[in-house]
Amino acid sequence: MPADLGERVQQQLAETDLAGPVVHHPRARRWTFITGPAHAGSMTKSLSAELFRLYATVACTGSQVVLPSADDERTGYRTWVQAPETADAVPPLADVIEATRTVCTRKVPSR
């Protein structure tokens, strides 16, 4: 998802103690949330379309997600926003999607 949306989603997840690992792709200005797996039938066409309109997508089951290497971190090509604390400390996909929907329905204050 776009980095600015990702920041808001991560903040929302942190408020409920669900913030997990996130990868930042600075050139593309995108964040990748590392989550638990999608459950069968959880990614409906309408949900995929809703996320697509927010420029957010969910990697299909079995997709490979490239994680930051030491060289990536050093050069800033790909970095951890939040590195994993343990191998299984990832939020459920449904919670990341719900946080995304929540922050996108809030009114943004005028500046």
Going by C-beta distance under 8 Å and a sequence separation of 6 or more, which residues neighbour residue 87?
none
Residue 98 lies in a domain: yes
Kindly state the tokens that stand for 105: 């329905």
For the chain, how many structural domains are there in total? 1
Distance CA 35, CA 101 (A): 16
* pLDDT tens readout for residues 41-77: 888 999 999 999 999 999 988 889 999 999 999 999 9
Query: What percent of the chain lies above the pLDDT cut of 70?
Result: 95
Residue 110 lies in a domain: no
Where do runs of H (alpha helix) occur along the chain? 3-15, 45-53, 70-75, 93-105
Q: Which residue has the tokens 């995929």?
A: 48
Q: Tell me what pLDDT residue 110 has.
A: 55
Tell me how crowded residue 61 is: count the other CB atoms within 10 A of its CB: 10
109 pLDDT band, cuts 50/70/90, is: low
Residue 111 lies in a domain: no
Kindly state the tokens that stand for 108: 């943004």
Residue 23 belongs to what domain range?
Answer: 3-105
| This prediction's pTM | 0.89
- Is 90 exceeded by the pLDDT of residue 107? no
